[in-house]
């Protein structure tokens, strides 16, 4: 993707004062109003997009995998999208653009096979504002606290009017994962609602735990998931190619906090080891991407929105060289008629930014495995 989209995670990395909400300039949103949500039950157009996938096999044959949303799921998914707004203001407005809709389509709509989707619109720091900060001339009026307080207001409205004792899965990515990590720490960890937490799926952020432990660090009582049907736990990881690990200046997979490590829970093999990555890649270049169109199979035109390439990629959590991450291995084969590469690198000025890893496909490269875990968790309720 371009630097514009790549910056969505930078909100977690930019230093600066946390500003309280200015009640005069940024009044609270009304999350009782359906217009404050990208989707919720009864207002689902943005979250009912075509999720069909073309399965491309090693011999070049293809077939279509259809998909349907669940008719009456018994659990809910509350999703916070990453920073994608191209609004020219310091914080985004409450009118979602095509970039917000595209990332919802890519990252969360497939979960509707397991849960009701709740996706609040929130006033995130925009990509232009983040870019201005990174080059040392921050845009006036940036309010970093506003994004969190909007999500908090949406969460409290959801609890008051929609939850009714249902189990909930929190899903985020990058900045969205950071916001939800804070929400978990301040609103759920050690509090009564914790018993309703089915799981939290927080890829693309450095989630810290004590070395050798599955609980502690960023959250005090909510553990990492260690089995597929375990509930009340966290799935988190940062993704890199197995042959391109996090460099010393990496934004992800490394921490300087004494005694802590970056947690890694592998959706392909939660109890440990390596497993096939059940990926659903966007068939066309990822939104705002610089990367060229992937030729998924020679001589084959892909007409579905997503592609699966079974057996091409495996995933394994590794702890190597002072970094902890989910390593993706591509099993290329000269007789395999499919692509030998996958998209997902952050590209800046035509050059791959190694410090970002495969950040752009943290969810897509593992979404089938994540949904399988959610299905197993749901069956235990």
Instruction: List pLDDT tens digits, range 339-375.
Output: 888 888 888 778 888 999 999 999 999 999 999 999 9
Classify residue 283 by its DSSP letter: S
Instruction: List pLDDT tens digits, range 273-287.
Output: 999 999 999 988 765
Strand 313-320's sheet: what is its strand order? 239-241, 323-330, 313-320, 274-276
Instruction: List pLDDT tens digits, range 42-56.
Output: 999 999 999 999 999
pLDDT at position 7 over 80: no
pLDDT value, residue 245: 96
pLDDT value, residue 316: 98
Here the tokens at position 152 are: 């908090």
pLDDT at position 126 over 90: no
Classify residue 361 by its DSSP letter: G
Here the tokens at position 179 are: 């916001």
pLDDT at position 191 over 90: yes
Residue 134, class by beta-carbon neighbours within 10 Å (0-12 exposed, 13-18 middle, 19+ buried)? middle
Give the integer Cα–Cα distance in Å for 139 and 8. Answer: 16
Give the integer Cα–Cα distance in Å for 325 and 242. Answer: 9
Classify residue 325 by its DSSP letter: E
pTM score of the predicted model: 0.92
pLDDT value, residue 24: 43
Judged by average pLDDT, the poorest of 2-6, 27-31, 306-310, 316-320 is 2-6
Rg from Cα positions in the chain: 20
DSSP string, 109-126: GGGGGTSEEEEE---PBP
């Amino acid at each position: 993707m371009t630097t514009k989209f790549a910056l969505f995670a930078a909100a977690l990395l930019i230093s600066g004062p946390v500003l309280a909400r200015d009640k005069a300039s940024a009044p609270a949103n009304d999350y009782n109003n359906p217009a404050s949500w990208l989707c919720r039950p009864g207002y689902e157009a943005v979250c009912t997009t075509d999720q069909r996938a073309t399965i491309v096999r090693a011999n070049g044959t293809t077939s279509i995998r259809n998909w349907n949303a669940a008719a009456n799921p018994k659990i809910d998914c509350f999703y916070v999208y990453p920073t994608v707004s191209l609004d020219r203001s310091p914080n985004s407005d409450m009118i979602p653009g095509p970039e917000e809709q595209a990332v919802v389509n890519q990252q969360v709509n497939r979960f509707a096979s397991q849960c009701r989707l709740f996706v609040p619109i929130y006033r995130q720091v925009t990509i232009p504002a983040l870019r201005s900060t990174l080059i040392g001339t921050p845009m006036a009026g940036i309010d970093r606290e506003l994004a969190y307080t909007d999500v908090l207001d949406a969460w409290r409205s959801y609890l008051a009017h929609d939850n009714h004792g249902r189990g909930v899965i929190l899903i985020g990515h990058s900045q969205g994962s950071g916001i939800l990590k804070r929400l978990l720490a301040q609103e759920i960890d050690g509090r009564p609602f914790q018993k309703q937490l089915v799981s939290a799926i927080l890829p693309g952020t450095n989630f810290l735990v004590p070395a050798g432990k599955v609980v502690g660090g960023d959250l005090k009582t909510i553990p990492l998931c260690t089995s597929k049907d375990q509930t009340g736990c966290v799935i988190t990881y940062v993704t890199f190619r197995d042959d391109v690990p996090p460099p010393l200046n990496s934004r992800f997979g490394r921490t300087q906090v004494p005694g802590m490590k970056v947690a890694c829970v592998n959706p392909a093999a939660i109890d440990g080891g390596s497993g096939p990555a059940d990926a659903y890649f966007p068939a066309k270049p990822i939104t705002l991407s610089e990367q060229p169109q992937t030729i998924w199979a020679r001589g084959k035109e892909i007409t579905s929105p997503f592609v699966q390439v079974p057996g091409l990629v495996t995933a394994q959590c590794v702890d190597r060289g002072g970094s902890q991450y989910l390593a993706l291995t591509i099993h290329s084969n000269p007789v395999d008629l499919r692509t030998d590469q996958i998209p997902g690198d952050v590209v800046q000025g035509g050059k791959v930014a190694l410090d970002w890893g495969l950040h752009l496909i943290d969810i897509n490269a593992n979404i089938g495995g994540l949904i399988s875990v959610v299905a197993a968790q749901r069956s235990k309720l």
